[in-house]
Amino acid sequence: MSNFFLVKLFAADAGRALSSAEPQAAFAELARRCPVHRAPDGAVVVTRLEDVTAVTRRPDVRGPGALGPSMMAERPLPPLDVDGAEYAHYRRLLNPLFSASKVAELAPVVHELANALLDDFIAAGTADVQAAFCQPLSTRFFLRLMGLPSGDLDYFIRFKDIILGHDPTLGLSVPERMARQRAASQEFYRYLDRFLDERAARGDAGAGLLGRLAAAEIEGQRLSRENILDITYVLVLAGLDTVAASLSSMLVRLARDPALRRQLIARPELWRPAIDELLRVESPVQFGVRVPTTDLQIAGETVPAGTAVYVCWSSANLDAAHFDDPLAVDIARQPNPHVAFGSGFHKCLGLHLARMEIRAALEALHRRIPDYTLEGEPAYHGMPRTPSKVMLRWR
């Protein structure tokens, strides 16, 4: 879902929030005064935590695939775009690959990649860490995780940016942008198909998650080539962008709060609650979409079956009814029932992976650059919400 459609759907307040460096007050206000917003085209936006979680936990509410394949894909992308028993089958297959214990083993890989990137620019004393650290780190790590060629890093970043409507598509009309996205999607399917053909021709079972997907079974049946292509499509897009966006936003926040930064460096055990709290406040993925199959009652209003319901993770995470002083960053906040990873059915498959990767990256950077300042005001764009440039300076 592009910024164009969100602004049209959610009117002036959301338009300001999506491009603002500090949208939190706008989203908190939406949760306070507008629990259910009805757009002119009939769609509905739900803004409060209680209603967001209620909608996403109902088995009679379908996920994003009810509106067609996500992210310009050729077909519905499992598990994102499927529901019911089919969704449960795919999650049973994929959940063990992304368990907390499994991804914890990968922290040394993130440290290794992070330190290699830091070696390239640390002596300069300044860098755009979004471009020099956050984006290449998440991309290199995920390509290694998947077993895809690291030499094609630039291609994957370009593909991700086009599909998600980032820099390469800015300034284009909506039809032009969608045409470019469709072309990029089709090329990615061809790229991945060629890669799997070449590996099969070598008799290579393959490393990483791609190799595991090729060997995986659902109820005694192997995944088809089409299944593997579609699962890889959604994993690549999710893995390349959300962590980079989260890391960049967190570094902006930590640059502006040196006291919090010093506390986390002195007490590394606080990184876990701090990351969850920063995810709550920053909420890089602002919205999700659901479609009820029966009429729903939401905040006293009837939402007819078949309505596109946009659940606003950002406003839910700043709902004063559930978070005391919601605009404050409080790393001692307990409980912290944030929905930065979504909620209910279709909650993020890679949440343990994201937490591990963010923590390992922040630990590596702050071990070598503990004291830094932010130069200029970052401009934000897209969903996930990402600062386009994060210029840090250090001694």
pLDDT of 145 reads 95
pLDDT of 51 reads 98
CATH number of the domain where residue 197 is located:
1.10.630.10
The set of long-range contacts for 118-124, using a CB threshold of 8 Å and a minimum separation of 24, is 118/364, 118/365, 118/368, 118/369, 122/368, 122/369
pLDDT of 253 reads 96
C-alpha span between 47 and 29 (Å, rounded): 10
pLDDT, averaged in runs of 10, over the chain (395 residues): 40 50 89 91 94 97 95 94 94 92 96 98 98 96 94 93 75 87 96 92 82 83 90 91 95 97 97 98 94 96 96 97 97 96 95 97 98 93 87 96
Provide the whole-model pTM: 0.92
Q: How many domains does the chain have?
A: 1
C-alpha span between 282 and 284 (Å, rounded): 6
One-letter amino acid of 361: A
pLDDT of 215 reads 84
Domain containing residue 42:
3-394
C-alpha span between 395 and 388 (Å, rounded): 23
pLDDT of 382 reads 75
pLDDT of 19 reads 54
Phi, psi of 242 (to 5 degrees): -65, -45
pLDDT of 7 reads 41
pLDDT of 21 reads 65
C-alpha span between 133 and 144 (Å, rounded): 16
